[in-house]
Amino acid sequence: MARSFSAPGKALLAGGYLVLDKQFKSYVVALSARMHAVISGTEVDGLEHTVITIKSPQFAQGEWRYSINDDNGGLDIVEANGRVNPFAQLSVQTVLAYVASSPNQQRKSKSEIEITIYSDSSYHTVENTVKKTHGAKVFHYHSDEITKIAKTGLGSSAGLVTVLTTALLSYYEPSVDLEDPKTLQLIHNLAQVAHCQAQGKIGSGFDVAAATFGSITYRRFDPKLISELKPLAECSTLEEYHNSLKSLVESRDWDIHMVPVALPHGVKLLMGDIRGGSNTPKLVSKVLKWRETDPRSASVYEGIDRANMTLVDCLSSLNTMFREHPESYKALLHELSSLNSHEIAGLNKPSFSLLHRLIGSNSTIRHNMRYITRESGAEIEPQQQTALLDSCLQIPGVLAAVVPGAGGYDAICLLVIEESLDAFYRLTRNDPKFSNVTWMDLREEARGIVEEDALDYGH
């Protein structure tokens, strides 16, 4: 019987670059764009090797067929056609190493496993695509290979690794229960290991965390946890690696801050794809080099952190206001919906004080990110993005505007009063300043990894 799972994309609303440092917290919004995996498999007596086929039918040549040899105390994974997909292969390797039996308890039968991956349209540009229906789902199909399709920066690799990890774990451990916090933590830890190894570096992990747990405030794990894990290729036996991996992913040493959050009622996160694209590792490399050499870098980071935490506090306070005084809150949002951020900041009204702090924190964050852009050479908020964000802030109902995550040309991110959205779309539709922007049909997603109904995918 097939099982299916999905994991959300992400937008790092507050915490760009600081999220790499364990002393700082960030605010990650999970998005309704989801990565999906449908898995089915069976044990086959007499099969020489387990075969795991991963299909991504939305892209040309989107199939990877892995032959698994775990006899003789090792774990060899070979792709039949020599195709390279590190995120798929490391997900397979990590789960199989985790569930591996000791050599004297080898499984007698080998398995044929098939996993079909689907991605919602917001992860990639949808130009020159064809819609196809799978059960109750509709997906966009591309004519090119996945590596040639422009991404929008919503965390496709983290979502892929998280759903693959969950799907494979569910095959070998059918009792997997995503309502169990311990199971979610295990999936998260396995996915972090696989994702870091696939990337060839140990990132902050916020994207995998959001894919697993949904919208959260996040503070990273210690990179040494994964860097000190001896690679499988350097271990003398699979059992040696299995024991080390199992000890790591089941340990309590991760010390990650992950607290569920939600955007305030009536406030929507709006993502705009600008059909650009950025090389995040290069941006990060330039910023890290700047931080090592600029004596002002520590104070700049501290200023961004204070503004980030003010923004987080304001969002939390708005949620509290809605719970305790819902009618006053709704009246406030209605009043704000006809004003732009400059008009709100210029009105000295007691009821606007919380919004003044929110708008001010957004301005401070952007000011400091532009400083880093100038001093490091990393185009976090380049001039074109500055002009675009400033134009957005002149539209009624837009409370905050940022280039999310590492910045660059992937996308822009706005906090907009929901009541203002129709007017916002009308104002931007024929404005040449927004001619290169596609507003994505997204919403905040409270859920992280979840089990879906395989029948919804026609399986």
User: At what angle are helices 280-293 and 353-376 packed, to 10 degrees?
Assistant: 90
pLDDT above 70 coverage of the chain, percent = 97
**Range of the structural domain that residue 29 is part of:** 3-260
Would you say residue 450 lies in a domain? no
What is the distance between the alpha carbons of residues 267 and 134, in angstroms, rounded to a whole number? 32
Would you say residue 444 lies in a domain? no
What is the distance between the alpha carbons of residues 312 and 303, in angstroms, rounded to a whole number? 14
Return the pLDDT at 281.
82
Average pLDDT over residues 3-26: 96
CATH number at residue 296: 3.30.70.890
Q: Are residues 181 and 295 in the same domain?
A: no
Average pLDDT over residues 267-272: 95
Would you say residue 91 lies in a domain? yes
Domain boundary among 221, 236, 260: 260
Least confident segment among 36-40, 123-127, 257-261: 123-127
Return the pLDDT at 372.
96
For residue 361, with 0-12 CB atoms within 10 Å meaning exposed, 13-18 middle and 19 or more buried, which class applies?
Answer: buried
Would you say residue 12 lies in a domain? yes
For residue 319, with 0-12 CB atoms within 10 Å meaning exposed, 13-18 middle and 19 or more buried, which class applies?
Answer: middle
Average pLDDT over residues 295-299: 95
Q: Are residues 24 and 8 in the same domain?
A: yes
pLDDT digits (tens, 9 = 90+) for 186-221: 999 999 999 999 999 999 999 999 999 999 999 999
Contacts of 72 (CB under 8 A, 6+ apart): none
CATH number at residue 57: 3.30.230.10
Contacts of 342 (CB under 8 A, 6+ apart): 393, 394
For the chain, the first-to-last Cα distance in angstroms comes to: 9
* Length, in residues, of the chain: 459
Would you say residue 371 lies in a domain? yes
Return the pLDDT at 276.
66
Residue bearing the bigger pLDDT, 331 or 124: 331
Q: Are residues 301 and 401 in the same domain?
A: yes
pLDDT digits (tens, 9 = 90+) for 15-24: 999 999 999 9
Return the pLDDT at 257.
95
Would you say residue 236 lies in a domain? yes
Would you say residue 323 lies in a domain? yes
Question: How does strand 50-55 pair with strand 110-119?
Answer: parallel
Return the pLDDT at 279.
75
Average pLDDT over residues 84-92: 97
Q: Are residues 247 and 281 in the same domain?
A: no
- Amino acid identity of residue 77, one-letter, is I
Return the pLDDT at 352.
96
Average pLDDT over residues 168-182: 94
Q: Are residues 275 and 251 in the same domain?
A: no
Q: Are residues 314 and 208 in the same domain?
A: no
Q: Are residues 221 and 296 in the same domain?
A: no
Q: Are residues 138 and 57 in the same domain?
A: yes
pLDDT above 90 coverage of the chain, percent = 86
User: Quick one: pLDDT band at residue 107, thresholds 50, 70, 90?
Assistant: low
Contacts of 251 (CB under 8 A, 6+ apart): none
Average pLDDT over residues 87-111: 80
Domain boundary among 236, 260, 284: 260
Q: Are residues 221 and 300 in the same domain?
A: no
Mean pLDDT of the chain: 94
Would you say residue 329 lies in a domain? yes
Q: Are residues 282 and 327 in the same domain?
A: yes
Quote the pTM value.
Answer: 0.94
Return the pLDDT at 103.
44
pLDDT greater than 70 at residue 102: no
Count structural domains, the chain. Answer: 2
pLDDT digits (tens, 9 = 90+) for 206-262: 999 999 999 999 999 999 999 999 999 999 999 999 999 999 999 989 999 999 999
Q: Are residues 238 and 355 in the same domain?
A: no
Q: Are residues 299 and 417 in the same domain?
A: yes
Return the pLDDT at 104.
39
Return the pLDDT at 447.
92
User: Quick one: pLDDT band at residue 277, thresholds 50, 70, 90?
Assistant: low
